[in-house]
Every structure is written in C-alpha cells, then in structure tokens.
A and B are shown apart, each in its own frame.
Chain A
C-alpha cells in the first residue's frame, strides 16, 4: 500500500475526471457531487501520506521506480520528501475548497469545469512527486491545458488574451528546460554510460562550471516565469485577474509554488556552482520583486489585481529565502510557500465571494461592508493580517525565518526586504479600510447578504491553518528540515569542490539511491556564505 499510495494520489483525480466525463452533462448536481467526493478522497489520501511520512528520515520516501520507455532510460520514478509532502497536502486541500467554492458560481459548461479542475490536480500532484526529469516535465506541461481552459472559458472579460499569454509564457520557459534536460541526459550518459533521467542519479554527476551556468539559466528561466520573478511576472496579473475564483486560487496557491519547488528540487541540487554564482543576482531580482510588487499593489483599483500583485511581492520573499542558501532562509521559504498558498488562496476566495454578490471588484464600489457583512469582514480581517504577517499568524513565521536567513546571507538584503513587510501592511490595510470601514456609500451594498454556510465551510479550514502554522509551526518545520538539509548539502558539496579544487577532498556521500541517512553532519552555514 505504501508504495502504491503516491500513484494512487496522483491518478485518483484523473480517474475521477474520467468518471465525471461519463456523467451526462445536464446532471449538474451529480457532476459536482462526484468531483467533490473524488477530491475529498484525494485529500484523505494525502493525509494518509502525511501520517505515514517518517519525519526524521533523510532522503526520499514512498519511492516507486518502474521503467517507462526502456530504450531511452525514462522511468516512472516517484518519491517525496518533506517539501513535497506539505505541497501535496496543500494542493489537495485547496482543490477541495475550490470545488466547494465554485458550487454555485459556475453555471455554463459545468462538466468541463470540474473535469479541468480534477485534471489540473493530477498534473500538480505529479509535479510534486516526480523524481524523473522527463516525468517531471510531462506533469509540468500537462497542467497547462486544463488551466488554459479554466481561464479561457470561465474567466473574466479579457480571458482569451490572458489564457493565451499564460500558456505562451509558460511554454517558452519550459521548452528551454527541455533542451537543458536533454543536454544533462547526454552528459550523464557520457559520465556513467547509462541513459537515464533519474534526478537522484544525476545529482551525483559533476557538471562543468560553464555548462552549469547555461543549464541553470535554462531551468531557472522556466521556473522564474512560473514563480514569477520580476521582470518575468507580466503574465501573472492578467491570468490571476481574468481567471475564475477557483482558477486564481489554484494559480496562486499551487502553480506558483511549482516554480519555487523546481528551484529547490532541480536547480539548487543539480547546479550548485551556478547557484552560488547566480545567488546575488537572484536575490536582487527577488528584492526588486518584493518592493515592486508591493508598490504596484498599492495603486490598484481592483481588489483582485491588488491580491495578484501582492503575490509577486510574496513570491519574491520566497525566492529571497531560498537563495539566502542557509537553513533558516530555506526553511522559511518552504513554509512561506505553504503560507502564501493558504492566505492568498483565502484572499482570492474572499474576493470571489464578494464579486458573486456585487459583480464588481473595484475598491471604490465598496465601503462600510462591516455593517452589512460582519462575519465576512471578520474572516477578511484574519486573512489580511495573515497576508501581512502579523505575529500568531502563519505569515509571520515564514517571513521572519526568511528575513533571518536574508540577514545572515547579507544584511543589506535583509534591510531592504524588510521594508517590503511594511509596504505589505500599508497596501493591505489601506485596501481593507476602504472596503470594510466607513459609511455605506453605495445603495447596492446595503442589501448584501452575509456569508452562507457553504462559504464559511470553505474559509474555516484556511483560518485554522493560518493560526496553526502561526502558533505551532513545529510539526511543519520538523518535516521540512531534513529535506532542506539535504538540499543544502547538495549545494555545499559543489561549493566546497569549487573552493578547494586543488585539495584532495573526501568523497561526498550521494543521497537518495538507498535513502541512507547522510553521514556528514552539516552546519547550517554552508560554504556559500563565505
């Protein structure tokens, strides 16, 4: 069972999608019911994975490895560590919430919508589990198609433009990744005589410095478009704003994480030398993203695009933490990936709820909502504060760790990035104030109804997560820690080789093959910080 569970987790939504596709398209409630049940079962499966996960073990767990295309050395290789684990759980939870939240808002093409949602879920779960580069690429591309339809069919007025832009940007990046992937494939063949795309095996291969720079660039471009790192973010506001609520939630909650996940899983371990070379550049870009995203958010008139630009800022924090290349920064980055999924997901859901009532998202059209929708305002408050990073909410823990890491890496990074937190407070609170407080200035707002039971059901789990991570993040951090250590050891491996090339070095243990625990104890200050 344990060896099958990842495959089951990935392909159960696909099975569900086929099942839903077989239901006659006029039976809306059956379609919704089946999708909900499928997504809930998927969520329970992910909880099972979470509970069976060995939190102290290093290396990959629940590994399966079958040959797929034998003659080209392509394998069906799955496995997860703590980082993937949390993202898996986040994905399944958000999928369930999205399906509940779009219960009434989707009226046309109901069947296609839910089929797309389930297919998307398969693609995302696959990306987080794949340990074969080819398989990773396949899942990475697969989710483009349902997302294209989600934005293009059920989106806002400029949906077609946004959908095409989203797909073109992503495709551009991922094709470069394909070339880099093939290059590594043949390099590995020259190195060991074996054709393979196996990530864990390739990690053991030294790559020439110059080649690393190119390869890192190719992968990083694909991932940076997805994150999105400034200045590659221009698809994001369009896609987020035009997508239907559930699409935005999945986009912000999970798809963006695929970019940062790619950095952790592929870029850092495979190209350590290039990582260290590019580190200052990426940190600077991340800081620009933090400040730029925040400043642009401040002037948005539309709540949804405000949230969209705030994503740019928040993902900048994640990138900064990642490329601080130390324990705190990276742990914080991984945690912040989850936090951003929870709080921005919740923000998009909230925006969607009010849009369904008023059919406008302009800040100027609201004001005084607190009087008519007290429960809504309370939820909105909690989520806003979590997004800002108030202590006792999840955002605080993540951003604190990231800033700690950034200060350790270079105090200038820390100082400048910290101003992003202040800016976040400005734009979020200002927006909240204009929407919620004051007098009711528009007639239409007086008749707004407060949250229904279904909508509360959607928000409560996210609020619980916000406080859980904020008050007691230990269970999460404990699961992230071994995985982050491994990544850091991979980075430090090559940096020591680079620094001490002339000296005889003890062979560095390659992890993963048998999942053995690293013998080398690591300090959290790697060679990177020198």
Chain B
C-alpha cells in the first residue's frame, strides 16, 4: 500500500518548541544553581517568553502535519495574547516571598511556561484530539499552580477545587467529542462539519438525539472552562485562593484558551445557527442564555464582594458573557470582536492583578476596604489601577470601551441581518444594563482608593518587573484605546483565516 507521509512543516511549530525547551531550561537552571537563583530565574523565564514572541512574529502562516497544525491569523493573534499574559504574570510574580513559594521558583515559572505551550498548541490545532491534548496541557499545570502555596489553606482548597472541576469538565468535553467522532467519522474540524451536515440531511431523526447530547456535553465542558453560568461556581473560590499572579494568568490566558477551544469546536465545527447545508443544530439561543446569565450573575454578584480577587473573579465571569455575545455573532465582525475584546481585557486585567499582587505582598490583604487612602500613599499605582478599572468598565477612549463597542456592533449587525436573530437585541440590552452595574462596583474600588476612610496603607515599593507589567497594562489600555487601528486590522483577519469558512 502506498502510504504518503504528510508534510510536517515543523518550522511552523518553532515557537512552541522554543518555549517548551525554554521551560525545561528554566526548571533545570533553578536546580543547577542549587535553588539560589532568586529572581534571575524569573528574568530568564521572561526572556524566554520574549524570544518566543519574536520567533512567532517571524514564523509566518501555513499548515503542517497534514492539516492538523495550522498557523493562521486566529492562532497567531491568540498566541500573542497568551505570551503577553504569561509575560505579565511572570513579571508580577517576582514579589512572592521566599517562605511562601518554598524555594520552588523554578517549578512555578516552569509550570506557567508549560501551560502557555499548551495554549499555543491549542490555538494551532485544527483537529479535536490535538485540541483536547492542548487543553489538558494548559490546565494540568494550572492545577498545581493554583495550589502552589502549600501552607495556605485557601490556596490548597483552590487547587483541589480546580482539579476536580477541571477533570470533570475535561471528561465531559471528551465524552462529547467522542460522540462527534462517532457521528462524523473524522476528528478534523472541517471534515467533521461537512460529514455531520451530510448525515443530518440524510437521516435527521436518527441522529438528532445524539447531536443534542453531544452539543450539550461539549457546551457543559467548555462552560466549566470559561466559567459561564451555571458552571461558574468554582471560579470565585479558585481565584481568591490561588496565588495572585496565577489568578491573573487564569483569568486571562486560560480564559482565552477556553475561548479558542470554543471558537474551534462550536463556531467552526458546529456553526451556531441551524442551516440545512452546514449546520445541523441550533445552539445559538442556548449559549445566548448562558451569556446573558453570565453577564447578570457575574455583575450582580460582584457588587457584594469585599475581596478584590473575588470581585475580579465575578467580573471575569461577566466579561466572558460579553465575549460570548461577540462569539454568537456569526459574521465577519464576530470573531474579530472576540479577539479584540480579549486583547483589551488582557492589558487591563493583568495590570490590575499586578497592582493587587503588590498590595497583597505588602499588606497581606486583598480586601477592598483596606485600599482606603491608597491614593495618598502610592499615587502612581492608584492612577494606574483607576485607568485599568475604567477600561474594564468600558469608558472611552480606553481599549476596554472599544472592545465592548466592537462586540455589541457584531451582535447588533447579526440581530439586524435576519429577523430570526432578533433576540440578540435582548442580549445586547442585558449587556448594557449590566454594564451600568459593572460601573458601580468598579467605581466602588476607585471610590475606596480616593475617597475612602484612611486606613494605614504603607507606601508600596515595587520591583522593576512589576513596574514594567503595570506600565504595559496602562500603556496598552490607553494606546490601543486611542489607536485601535492596528489591532483591529489584525483582529479582522481572524474570521478570514485559512480554516474558518463561515457560511
């Protein structure tokens, strides 16, 4: 039998390979210096992320391993987000004290890099199994990272919780994937969609039940990863307990990875709205309800939180809801808006967590009332935090506003395109109303910092990496708000990538 090897195009995988090797180097460097490397290992890890970014910029687009590995605009865009988030998370982890990390700085950073490799791999995979492997490589290091402070009860609890929920959701996802494979006979996303549509056309009643089951299990699996209600309960506990840089990484990079997985399986694999020739099932409304409840639950529950990290956890649930609104808009603005929103969200959220980490290291508290008078003792940090919070609120001309605008634009376009999709107006309406609620609790933090009762906040000294991270956050938020052009151009390439063919 004539068996032809597929074209590997290994050079496309170069960024992943570089980062993977680098992660090993980081691990062994810490060992080789007899765990006395201190912050040097951190700088080493940051350098690795930077180098990977440069390699990524020069790698270019293409397909490898048959069609299993794709480097298209979507992959590159999200890889940039992952790398930026990893860079900022590592930068804000310098302040973790020795007794907390028990001399395992190398492992801490190594795991974070491994997780990043998993995300990058996930973003490039064009096939269900490698996608699943990428997702597992992403989450398994995060279980360990969440529980990294061994002596901290909350951290350990977070780790266990995340492990159980993560494993459960992966199992659900895998279960759903197995159904899809059984129905279509292929794990390749595009082939799967065609086969599914064909089999649905031929004998719909027979497969309908399985379809529904597959869709629901996959949605549940991804819903857990993205913390969309009703699968969101784990998020606040994990976010609060995990070390702050890990929380930041979880809230941005891991969320972005979940979004990529969602886009690949659901948007590309199973087109959202019923269409006799391309999409066998209509899951748009179901996800619409999830997105709507994410915005409501996230924003409303965030109002009552007094712990900053918990509040940000709820707010991240809400932001996932906004992003899903963009995801549901199956037009050329949809995925582009998702990309831009995530990009803007990354700067603001990573920056805020960097500030939260700094305060936490100095005062040992992440309670919002303890931020009173913070503007007096550290005016620079307070101004930075204010700018980034306003960006999350969606106040122009900051990047977050543009993201929100973009997402709503995509949704309104979809709603206007077809009377069947008019329910999207309601989704946009919910988004707007909850934005007002969001304003309240973000403004509450600003209020405490500036007008709150004076607590005895010491002046906060910051290390050079932390300062870099905060500056990146602020500058990114402001610059990409004022000049979104560059990113918009890039993001609008996402929906016309090689592998995405929207009807």
Q: Does B80 contact A (CB under 8 A)?
A: no
**Chain A residues whose C-beta falls within 8 Å of the C-beta of B436 in the assembled complex:** 168, 171-172, 175
CB pair A183–B416 under 8 Å, yes or no, is yes
**Chain A residues whose C-beta falls within 8 Å of the C-beta of B492 in the assembled complex:** 71
* B window 424-472: CB within 8 A of A: 428-429, 432-433, 435-436, 439-440, 443, 447, 450-451
Docked pose: A477 CA to B58 CA in angstroms: 63
Q: Mark B389-406, 1 if CB is under 8 A from A, else 0.
A: 010000111000100011
Least distance between A316 CB and chain B CB atoms (Å)? 26
Contact among A141, A159, A183 with B412 in the assembled complex (CB-CB below 8 Å): A183
Docked pose: A196 CA to B277 CA in angstroms: 34
**Chain B residues whose C-beta falls within 8 Å of the C-beta of A71 in the assembled complex:** 485, 488-489, 492
**Chain B residues whose C-beta falls within 8 Å of the C-beta of A137 in the assembled complex:** 396
Chain B residue total in the interface (Cβ 8 A): 30
Docked pose: A142 CA to B450 CA in angstroms: 19
Per DSSP, chain B at the interface is helix
Contact among A69, A141, A159 with B485 in the assembled complex (CB-CB below 8 Å): A69
CB pair B447–A152 under 8 Å, yes or no, is yes
**Chain B residues whose C-beta falls within 8 Å of the C-beta of A152 in the assembled complex:** 447, 450-451
* A window 265-285: CB within 8 A of B: none
Per DSSP, chain A at the interface is helix
CB pair A168–B439 under 8 Å, yes or no, is yes
Given A71-B489, A138-B397, residue A182 in contact with residue B439 (CB < 8 A): no
Least distance between B380 CB and chain A CB atoms (Å)? 11
**Chain A residues whose C-beta falls within 8 Å of the C-beta of B433 in the assembled complex:** 172, 175
**Chain B residues whose C-beta falls within 8 Å of the C-beta of A164 in the assembled complex:** 440, 443, 447
Stretch from A93-101, A143-151, A407-415, A468-476 at the B interface: A143-151
Given A141-B395, A178-B432, residue A159 in contact with residue B401 (CB < 8 A): no
Q: Does B369 contact A (CB under 8 A)?
A: no
CB pair A145–B390 under 8 Å, yes or no, is yes
Q: Does A295 contact B (CB under 8 A)?
A: no
Given A141-B396, A171-B436, residue A160 in contact with residue B451 (CB < 8 A): yes
Docked pose: A137 CA to B413 CA in angstroms: 19
Contact among B409, B439, B450 with A149 in the assembled complex (CB-CB below 8 Å): B450
**Chain B residues whose C-beta falls within 8 Å of the C-beta of A159 in the assembled complex:** 451
Given A141-B395, A183-B412, residue A175 in contact with residue B443 (CB < 8 A): no
Q: Mark A64-77, 1 if CB is under 8 A from B, else 0.
A: 00001111100000
- List the B residue with the shortest CB-CB distance to A149: B450
Given A138-B396, A144-B395, A176-B432, residue A72 in contact with residue B488 (CB < 8 A): yes
- List the B residue with the shortest CB-CB distance to A68: B485
CB pair A182–B408 under 8 Å, yes or no, is yes
CB pair B439–A179 under 8 Å, yes or no, is no
- List the A residue with the shortest CB-CB distance to B416: A186
In this complex, the member of A142, A153, A163, A171 whose beta carbon has the largest number of chain B beta carbons within 10 angstroms is A171
**Chain B residues whose C-beta falls within 8 Å of the C-beta of A179 in the assembled complex:** 408, 412, 428-429, 432
* A window 16-60: CB within 8 A of B: 25
Q: Does A8 contact B (CB under 8 A)?
A: no
CB pair A186–B412 under 8 Å, yes or no, is yes
CB pair B485–A167 under 8 Å, yes or no, is no
Q: Does A185 contact B (CB under 8 A)?
A: yes
Q: Does B484 contact A (CB under 8 A)?
A: yes
- List the B residue with the shortest CB-CB distance to A134: B405
- List the A residue with the shortest CB-CB distance to B444: A164
CB pair A171–B413 under 8 Å, yes or no, is no
Contact among A25, A167, A176, A185 with B409 in the assembled complex (CB-CB below 8 Å): A185
* A window 123-165: CB within 8 A of B: 134, 137-138, 141-142, 144-145, 148-149, 152-153, 159-160, 163-164
CB pair A175–B432 under 8 Å, yes or no, is yes
Docked pose: A183 CA to B408 CA in angstroms: 10
- List the A residue with the shortest CB-CB distance to B402: A69
CB pair B412–A70 under 8 Å, yes or no, is no
Least distance between B265 CB and chain A CB atoms (Å)? 28
**Chain B residues whose C-beta falls within 8 Å of the C-beta of A160 in the assembled complex:** 447, 451
CB pair A148–B443 under 8 Å, yes or no, is yes
CB pair A153–B432 under 8 Å, yes or no, is no
**Chain A residues whose C-beta falls within 8 Å of the C-beta of B396 in the assembled complex:** 137-138, 141-142
**Chain A residues whose C-beta falls within 8 Å of the C-beta of B443 in the assembled complex:** 148, 164, 167
**Chain B residues whose C-beta falls within 8 Å of the C-beta of A176 in the assembled complex:** 432
CB pair B439–A167 under 8 Å, yes or no, is yes
**Chain A residues whose C-beta falls within 8 Å of the C-beta of B412 in the assembled complex:** 179, 182-183, 186
Q: Mark B349-392, 1 if CB is under 8 A from A, else 0.
A: 00000000000000000000000000000010000000000100
Least distance between A168 CB and chain B CB atoms (Å)? 6
Docked pose: A159 CA to B492 CA in angstroms: 44
Least distance between A166 CB and chain B CB atoms (Å)? 11
- List the A residue with the shortest CB-CB distance to B409: A182
- List the A residue with the shortest CB-CB distance to B486: A69
Docked pose: A164 CA to B442 CA in angstroms: 11
Least distance between B236 CB and chain A CB atoms (Å)? 24
In this complex, the member of A153, A163, A178 whose beta carbon has the largest number of chain B beta carbons within 10 angstroms is A178
Least distance between A159 CB and chain B CB atoms (Å)? 7
**Chain B residues whose C-beta falls within 8 Å of the C-beta of A134 in the assembled complex:** 405
Least distance between A87 CB and chain B CB atoms (Å)? 21
Docked pose: A70 CA to B488 CA in angstroms: 9
Docked pose: A444 CA to B440 CA in angstroms: 42
Identify the A interface with B (CB < 8 A). Answer: 25, 68-72, 134, 137-138, 141-142, 144-145, 148-149, 152-153, 159-160, 163-164, 167-168, 171-172, 175-176, 178-179, 182-183, 185-187, 190
Residue contacts A-B, CB under 8 angstroms, 19 given: A25-B379, A71-B488, A71-B489, A71-B492, A138-B401, A141-B396, A141-B401, A145-B390, A145-B395, A152-B447, A171-B436, A172-B433, A179-B412, A179-B429, A182-B413, A183-B412, A183-B416, A185-B409, A186-B412
